[in-house]
Structures are given as structure tokens and as C-alpha cells.
């Protein structure tokens, strides 16, 4: 008894052995933990004074899963299967005491125990699919047994955890306990010591293993996940739970897991998992910089963006005031927010009472003076420098000292906006993506004078709002839109040279994006792009012609595509084709068929080249930050790991060759490989190095 190793402790409490694991921050099941667990269980088994065992974790959570950093390295015994086999071979009841998030291998370990008790706030889940994997420690075989294959499949394919109350109702856990968890788990263990033998295991419960509804559920859950290998493997494994004996199902699960964990998709998704966490860190942030508390917010502007940002606050439980200049505009904005919530309620994503609570956190006013009580003010007014500067001069006068003053600009110079105030150190960009209440990406734009405290406050607030914050520097379009602009130029060129919108979009969708560039511009509005080009003195032959013909996108039922009334499905449009052909003719280009491979290259390589320049200029800190921006904000397929990761897989020398080829052919010098790209390619290195 006592310390088994640095992570695992064993003590005896009057006949109950308590194995406590302490491996901060999330008790990942690394090798030392597994070895300690096996040893602790053996000692408990061999000690006649021990009648039952409790497995608990110190710190903020029960095991959050296998240690992801060990994947791809040679396995070290004992593996998680050995821990689980040791638990199931115990002739004394083993009770898992759950708090925080019991995820992946952690939840699978709990499912192997004879009993599970949890605090009310605990959550359990199998999120492996988000890492391009399936649960590999028996989860696909054990979970369907207590709750049935259909429900298990939903948890495994979505990767979403469920709360303790739902887990109790489904018979996944045995009791929700009150008071101190370990004490309550020990008391529970005492009650079950005398339970009949042999002890019951989850693996032996067969009653709910029916195929009813399974095929339909599988079809519904995987319909929109094309291109990804893991969801299909999850389906196969859970189906095996129905049709194969338990041990056979386990064997198949292990085979599927081994294949996925060694595959490119999971490697890419693991890269994104760590890159997301890394992106929140600002390398030169001093230890002393601390986020300031945020208890209330204000949003200037009740447009689509302002309303969406206000919803983010309300969803996170933070009271927020929307300020708009006129009563009518304000009411329209508040109505739009309410309508958005109602849609979520009608789809079952939110209870009606919860909607009321969230709406109750949003106050609309027409007096800017109301910002005086806010810890954070986010400006989301019309995208024009003069207007933004006037707003910031007013905020400077009215906002409390130390309030964070953020602009949601997507193109304008944050430093210039900051100069409208006498406190530029409090000013930064918080660039939300539309729809702001849905999209996870948040570019935090650090101005020349932004203080570390302000930056730390914005990052912490971003995480609280459920966003993926990435800190970037000031430049036109920041990281995401600056790279996107390269893709737009190339889209225009492809159209002029011979491709049609549906061909470009089909190639980009086949690559793994949820929609192609043309459908995306239709969604954003061609009038928006037109206004930006006007402001910058730029032209785009096809897009300008479409705009002039009244093709504003979905809002007018026609853009690059045609949209039937009430439908969002893009339909190829003969009128658009005529405009494109006319454009090609006007500049004397002989149109030619363009294959999918070329389209994909031209839709990705120029963007990666721009990404290299962005890194060189220090606008983005790490290549992984760019990957996170594209995966969480623009639909880059997560299983391809983001543009810079993808570039490394292609090989930078190959990339340089292809860019040079396109630069020569188009005589566009911006397509010449960026110096950083050339240097890394010459040294045989990748961005990750
Ligand atoms: N392995 C290794 N490190 C992990 C980890 C894991 N399973 N889970 C989290 N971490 C690390 C993070 O990288 C982060 O490290 P840094 O502080 O150095 O950046 C740190 O723990 C804290 O993580 P978060 O910032 O994400 O903390 P949070 O409080 O916001 O979230 C969490 C906690 C919900 C547990 C979240 O970390 C999470 O979802 N983790 C992954 C869970 C998971 O996918 N488990 C399945 C693993 S695969 C598996 O188990 C396979 C199998 O079937 C055997």
C-alpha cells in the first residue's frame, strides 16, 4: 500500500482498496499510469483484507482517454487491454468513481469495471472518431450492451459525450452520488461487497443487442461524413457487436483500430488536436499577464454579425448588451436572434426554457452610453474605416478603464482603428466568422500596441465562448481571408480558362470541403466582394459581370448558381455560363477542358504559398495556427490536417515545381514559390520542422 509509482497511489480504507491516479492535467492513461493500475489491482487482489476496489482520479477529471502522444510510438506493456483484463478477472467488485470527463480509453476502462458511480456534473463519451479513430479498448463492444447498438453508434460516430443523468437513465452508470466522490464511492463499494457471485460484467449483458434500427441509424449518421475513414470503421465495429461473439468483436475492433491509428487521416487529425491547443498560446506572453475577469459584454451593431456575437455571449451565460443606432434596426436584430434560437429549439437542439434564459441575457439599447458597464466591447458595425474610427473614439470616451475594446473587422487595419482612442493598448481585433454563433474560429488580431493583459483576456474569453482562438498579426485580410483571396483569384482564372462553377466546386468538394468556392461566394454575397473590390480599386472580370447582372448570390436566388425559391441547393445556370464564355472571348482566351487534379492544385497551392509568406512575415506564429484557421473557419477537411500540414505531405520541392509551372504559364509573379518555401524545399525540410 502507498505510492505505487509517481502517478498511482493505493490505500486501504477498512476493507476497500482505493487506487487513485494523479497524472495532470487530464489523467491520460500513459504507460506509467497503466503499469501502476495493474500493480495496484494485483496487490488488492492478493490482499485478503481487501473486499472491493475503487478506482478514482485526482485533479479535474477521471481519465480523459489514452495518452494521444503515445500513438505512433512502439507500444509499451502493459497496454490498456491488459489493465482492462486485470479488472475483469478480479473476483472482488471494482467500482469506477467518475468526475469531470471520462472519455475514450478512460470511459472504456470504466465500462470494464463491475460498477460505475459518478458526480452529477460528470460526462462520459467516446470521442475517438474526432481523432480519426474508433474506441480501441472494447468501447465498440461494451457500450452497445447496456444501451443497445443504435444509441451506442450515435455516441461513437458523433463522439459527443453525454451527462451523468442521461448515463444513469441508460444504465451506463449505477448511481449519481452526492458529497465527496471517493468517500461516496467507498460507501457504494461497501454496499456491493456481498453481491452475488460471479460478479456481473458489462460484456455479459446481451439483452439489448438487437439489429433493429441499426442500418437506418448508420446511414443517417454517416451520410455527411464522406471522405473520412473512421466513421465507417465505427459502424463496422458496432455491427460486429451485434453479429459476433464478444471476443471475436474485440479482435476485429483491435484490427480496425490498428489500421486507423497508423493511417494518414488519424495522424492529420491528431496534428489538429494538438495544433488547436497550441494556437491558444502566445509565445512571448509573460507569466505575469493574466486574463481579466469578464462578467458582461457589449456588442456594437445589431446586424447579422453583431447578433451572432451576442448569441455567443448568451450561450456562454454572459450577460450582453447590443447597441444599435435606431429602434427599428435594433428590433430587427433582436428578432433575428430570437428566430435563430427558435430554429434551434424546433430542431431539438435547445429546450424552450433554455432559449428564454439565453434571450434574457441579451439586452438591446440605442444609447452607446450603455457600454460603460461592460468588461468587453466588440464593435461589429459597417466595414468602413471612418465609421469604425468614430465608434472607437466614442468608446474611448464612454467605456470603463481597462475594458477590452475589440473590432470585428475582417479587412481593416486594427492599428489605425486603435489610433482613434487614447488607449490603443486595450484595442485588438476579434474576428468572428459568419454565422458567428456557429463557426468555431476566432482570429484574435494583435495590434502594434495591444497589451498582453488585453490579449490574454481575449484568448480566455474566446475559449469561454467555445471558440478556437488563434492570435494573428495585422495585415490585409489577416490569415484566413488573405489566403482565401488567392483562391478567389485562381477561381476567376479557372472560369476564364475553361472550367465552369459546378466543375470547380465538385473538385473542391471531392477534396473534402463541405462546399466549393462558388457556392461559398453565393452564400457570402457577391455584392460584399464587389464593395470590397471597389474600395481597393480591384477588378474581377467574371464576378463583376455577375454582380452587374444582379447575381448577388443566394439572397437574389442567383449568383454563380441558380437557387429555386426556398432552396439552398446550387443549380448550374445557363445565364452564368453565357457570362463566363463571353468573358473568355473578351480577353481572347481559347477555353479548354480542365481536369479535377489541376483544379485541386490551383485551389490549394497558391493558398499554401501565401501561407508561407504569412509565416515569413510573422503574421501567423506557427504553421499549425494556419492549419487550425483553415480547418475551423473555412471547412478544410480535418482529415487532411490543414493546408500547411498537407503541403508537408505533398513535399515542398514538388510544391515549388508546381507553383513555378503555374507562375510561368500565367505570368503571375505572385505564384512564384515564396522564399521560405524555396529555402525549406532546398534543405529538404517541411513547415513542421
Ligand atoms: N492525451 C494526451 N494529452 C492530452 C489528452 C490525451 N488524451 N487530452 C488532453 N491532453 C492535453 C492537451 O493537449 C493539453 O495539453 P497542453 O496544456 O500542453 O496544451 C492539456 O491536456 C489540457 O487539455 P485541454 O486544453 O483540451 O483542456 P480542457 O479542459 O479544455 O479539455 C478534455 C479537457 C475535454 C479532456 C480535452 O482535453 C479532450 O477532449 N481531450 C481528448 C479526449 C480524447 O480524445 N480521448 C480519447 C483519446 S484516444 C483513446 O482513448 C483511444 C482508445 O480507445 C484507447
Residues 586-606 pLDDT 10s: 999 999 999 999 999 999 999
- Report pLDDT for 343: 92
Judged by DSSP in three states, 681 sits in helix
Ligand 1, atom 41: closest residue by C-alpha: 64
pLDDT category at 673 given cuts 50, 70, 90 is very high
The pLDDT confidence band at residue 225, using thresholds 50, 70 and 90, is confident
pLDDT value at residue 531: 86
User: How many CB atoms neighbour CB 631 within 10 A?
Assistant: 27
β pairing state of 320-323 and 297-300: parallel
Atom 36 (ligand 1) nearest CA: 64
Using alpha carbons, select from 139, 83, 78, 151 the residue that is nearest to residue 111: 139
* Shortest-distance Cα residue to atom 16 of ligand 1: 277
Distances (CA, A) of 426 to 379, 392, 465, 469, 514: 13, 11, 20, 18, 37
Task: Please indicate whether residue 66, judged by its CB atom, sits closer than 6 Å to ligand 1.
Answer: yes
Distance 95 CA to ligand 1 centre (A): 23
pLDDT at 10: 97
Q: Is the CB of 67 under 6 A from ligand 1?
A: yes
Mutate to test the pocket of ligand 1, among 33, 64, 99, 262 (most ligand atoms within 8 A of CB): 64
The model's pLDDT over 392-422, given as tens digits with 9 standing for 90+, comes to 999 999 999 999 999 999 889 999 999 999 9
> Given this model, what pLDDT does residue 318 score?
98
Give the mean pLDDT of 629-658. 97
Three-state DSSP class for 405? Answer: strand
Cα 521 to Cα 552: distance, rounded to the nearest angstrom: 9
Could you give the 3-state DSSP secondary structure of residue 8? Answer: strand
Cell of 20: 487513485
Tell me the H-state helices in 104-229: 105-112, 139-142, 144-147, 149-158, 164-169, 181-192, 214-222
**In this structure, which residue's CA is closest to atom 54 in ligand 1?**
105
**Residues whose CB is less than 8 angstroms from the CB of residue 431 and which lie 6 or more positions away in sequence, other chains included:** 408, 409, 410, 442, 443, 444, 445, 478, 480
Contact (Cβ atoms closer than 8 angstroms) between residue 234 and residue 140: yes
Decide whether any atom of ligand 1 lies within 6 Å of the 132 Cβ. Answer: no
Residue positions counted in the chain: 689
Are 607 and 483 in contact, with CB atoms under 8 Å apart? Answer: yes
Residue 226 has pLDDT above 80, yes or no: no
95 contact partners, CB below 8 Å, separation of at least 6: 52, 53, 54, 55, 113, 114, 115, 116, 117, 185, 188, 189, 192
Tens of pLDDT along 7-42?
Answer: 999 999 999 999 999 999 999 999 999 999 999 999
Q: Are 192 and 198 in contact (CB under 8 A)?
A: no
Sequence-ordered list of residues with C-beta below 8 angstroms from that of 35, at least 6 positions apart, any chain: 5, 78
- Ligand 1 centroid to Cα of residue 566, in Å, is 42
Above 90 in pLDDT, residue 227?
A: no
Whole-number Å distance, alpha carbon 120 to ligand 1 midpoint, is 21
Half-sphere exposure of 330 (CA within 13 A, CB side): 16
Coil, strand or helix at 21: strand
**Nearest CA to 489 among 666, 676, 677?**
666
pLDDT number for residue 129: 97
Q: 10 Å Cβ neighbour count for 369?
A: 11
- Binned at pLDDT 50, 70 and 90, residue 383 comes out as confident
Per-residue pLDDT, 622: 97
Q: Is residue 320 classed as helix, strand or coil in its secondary structure?
A: strand
Q: Is the dihedral of CA 34, 36, 38, 41 positive or negative?
A: negative
Q: Which of 68, 233, 267 to mutate to test the pocket of ligand 1 (most atoms within 8 A of CB)?
A: 68
Residues 6+ apart with CB under 8 A from 259: 233
Predicted confidence at residue 195, as pLDDT, reads 80
Question: Is the C-beta atom of 638 inside 6 A of ligand 1?
Answer: no
The H-or-E segment that residue 358 falls in is: helix 352-360
Any residues with CB less than 8 A from the CB of 490 and at least 6 apart, and which?
602, 603, 606
Instruction: Report helix, strand and coil shares of the chain as percent, to nearest 5.
Output: 50, 10, 35
Q: Once rounded to an integer, what is the mean pLDDT over residues 455-476? A: 96
∠ CA 285-288-292, rounded to 5°: 90
317 Rama class: left (phi>0) / alpha (psi -120 to 50) / beta:
left
Q: Is the pLDDT of residue 524 over 90?
A: no
Q: How confident is the model at residue 273 (pLDDT cuts 50, 70, 90)?
A: very high
pLDDT for 529 equals 86
Quote the pLDDT of residue 528.
85
Cβ-contact 131, 273 below 8 angstroms: yes
Write out pLDDT tens, residues 467-497.
999 999 999 889 999 999 999 999 999 999 9
User: Which residues form the catalytic set?
Assistant: 108, 128
Listed in sequence order, the DSSP H helices in 193-326 are 214-222, 230-243, 246-262, 264-279, 304-315
pLDDT of residue 465: 97
pLDDT for 434 beyond 90: no
For residue 138, give the C-alpha cell. Answer: 472494447
Taking the centre of ligand 1 as the mean of its atom positions, its distance from the CA of residue 65, in whole angstroms, is 7
Residue 71 has pLDDT above 90, yes or no: yes
Cell of 603: 485551389
**Confidence at 569, pLDDT banded by 50, 70, 90:** very high
Arithmetic mean of pLDDT over the chain: 95
* Contacts (Cβ under 8 Å, ≥6 apart) of 290: 453, 456
Amino acid at each position: 500500500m502507498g505510492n505505487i509509482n509517481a502517478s498511482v497511489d493505493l490505500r486501504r480504507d477498512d476493507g476497500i482498496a482505493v487506487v487513485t491516479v494523479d497524472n495532470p492535467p487530464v489523467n491520460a492513461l500513459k504507460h506509467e499510469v497503466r503499469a501502476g493500475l495493474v500493480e495496484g489491482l494485483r496487490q488488492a487482489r492478493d490482499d485478503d483484507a481487501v473486499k472491493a476496489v475503487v478506482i478514482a482520479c485526482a485533479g479535474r477529471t477521471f481519465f480523459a482517454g489514452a495518452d494521444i502522444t503515445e500513438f505512433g510510438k512502439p507500444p509499451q506493456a502493459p497496454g490498456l487491454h491488459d489493465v482492462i483484463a486485470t479488472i475483469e478477472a478480479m473476483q472482488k467488485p471494482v467500482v469506477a468513481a467518475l468526475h469531470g470527463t471520462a472519455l475514450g480509453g478512460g470511459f472504456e476502462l470504466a465500462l470494464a469495471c463491475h460498477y460505475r458511480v459518478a458526480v452529477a456534473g460528470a460526462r462520459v463519451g467516446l470521442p475517438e472518431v474526432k481523432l480519426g479513430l474508433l474506441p480501441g479498448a472494447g468501447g465498440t463492444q461494451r457500450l452497445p450492451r447496456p444501451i443497445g447498438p443504435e444509441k451506442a453508434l450515435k455516441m461513437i460516430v458523433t463522439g459527443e459525450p453525454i451527462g451523468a443523468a442521461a448515463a444513469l437513465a441508460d444504465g451506463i452508470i449505477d448511481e449519481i452520488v452526492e458529497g465527496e466522490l471517493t468517500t461516496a464511492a467507498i460507501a457504494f463499494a461497501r454496499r456491493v461487497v456481498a453481491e452475488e457471485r460471479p460478479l456481473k460484467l458489462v460484456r455479459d449483458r446481451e439483452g439489448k443487442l438487437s439489429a433493429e434500427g441499426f442500418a437506418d441509424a448508420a446511414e443517417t449518421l454517416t451520410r455527411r461524413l464522406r471522405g473520412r475513414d473512421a466513421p465507417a470503421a465505427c459502424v463496422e465495429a458496432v455491427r460486429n457487436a451485434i453479429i459476433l461473439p464478444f471476443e471475436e468483436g474485440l479482435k476485429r475492433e483491435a484490427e480496425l483500430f490498428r489500421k486507423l491509428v497508423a493511417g494518414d487521416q488519424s495522424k492529420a487529425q491528431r496534428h489538429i488536436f494538438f495544433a488547436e491547443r497550441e494556437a491558444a498560446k502566445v509565445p512571448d506572453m509573460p507569466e505575469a499577464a493574466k486574463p481579466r475577469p469578464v462578467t458582461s459584454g457589449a456588442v456594437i451593431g445589431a446586424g447579422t454579425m453583431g447578433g451572432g456575437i451576442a448569441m455567443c455571449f448568451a450561450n456562454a451565460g454572459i450577460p450582453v448588451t447590443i447597441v444599435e443606432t435606431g429602434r427599428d434596426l435594433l428590433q430587427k436584430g433582436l428578432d433575428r436572434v430570437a428566430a435563430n434560437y427558435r430554429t434551434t429549439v424546433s430542431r431539438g437542439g435547445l429546450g424552450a426554457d433554455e432559449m428564454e434564459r439565453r434571450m434574457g441575457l441579451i439586452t438591446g439599447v440605442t444609447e452607446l452610453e450603455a457600454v460603460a458597464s461592460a468588461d468587453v466591447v466588440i464593435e461589429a458595425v459597417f466595414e468602413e474605416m471612418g465609421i469604425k474610427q468614430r465608434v472607437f473614439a466614442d468608446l474611448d470616451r464612454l467605456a470603463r478603464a481597462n475594458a477590452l475594446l475589440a473590432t470585428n473587422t475582417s479587412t481593416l487595419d486594427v492599428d489605425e482603428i486603435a489610433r482613434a482612442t487614447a488607449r490603443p493598448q486595450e484595442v485588438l481585433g476579434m474576428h468572428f466568422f459568419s454565422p458567428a454563433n456557429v463557426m468555431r474560429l476566432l482570429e484574435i488580431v494583435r495590434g502594434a500596441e495591444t497589451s498582453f493583459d488585453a490579449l490574454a483576456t481575449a484568448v480566455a474569453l474566446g475559449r469561454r465562448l467555445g471558440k478556437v482562438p488563434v492570435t494573428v498579426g495585422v495585415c490585409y485580410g489577416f490569415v484566413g481571408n488573405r489566403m482565401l483571396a488567392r483562391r478567389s483569384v485562381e477561381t476567376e482564372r479557372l472560369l476564364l480558362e475553361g472550367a465552369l462553377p459546378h466543375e470547380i466546386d465538385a473538385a473542391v468538394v471531392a477534396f473534402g470541403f463541405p462546399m466549393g468556392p462558388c457556392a461559398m461566394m453565393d452564400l457570402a454575397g457577391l455584392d460584399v466582394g464587389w464593395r470590397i473590390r471597389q474600395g481597393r480599386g480591384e477588378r474581377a472580370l467574371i464576378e463583376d459581370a455577375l454582380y452587374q447582372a444582379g447575381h448577388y448570390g443566394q439572397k437574389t436566388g442567383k449568383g454563380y448558381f441558380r437557387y429555386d425559391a426556398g432552396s439552398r441547393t446550387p443549380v448550374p445556370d445557363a445565364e452564368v455560363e453565357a457570362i463566363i464564355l463571353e468573358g473568355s472571348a473578351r480577353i481572347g482566351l481559347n477555353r479548354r477542358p480542365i481536369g479535377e487534379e489541376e483544379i485541386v492544385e490551383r485551389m490549394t497551392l497558391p493558398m499554401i504559398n501565401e501561407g508561407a509568406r504569412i509565416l515569413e512575415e510573422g503574421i501567423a506564429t506557427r504553421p499549425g495556427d494556419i492549419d487550425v484557421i483553415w480547418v475551423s473557419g473555412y471547412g478544410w477537411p480535418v482529415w487532411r490536417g490543414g493546408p500547411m500540414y498537407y503541403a508537408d505531405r505533398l513535399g515542398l520541392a514538388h510544391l515549388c515545381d508546381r507553383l513555378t509551372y503555374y507562375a510561368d504559364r500565367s505570368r503571375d509573379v505572385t505564384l512564384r514559390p515564396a522564399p521560405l518555401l524555396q529555402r525549406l524545399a532546398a534543405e529538404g525540410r517541411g513547415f513542421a520542422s
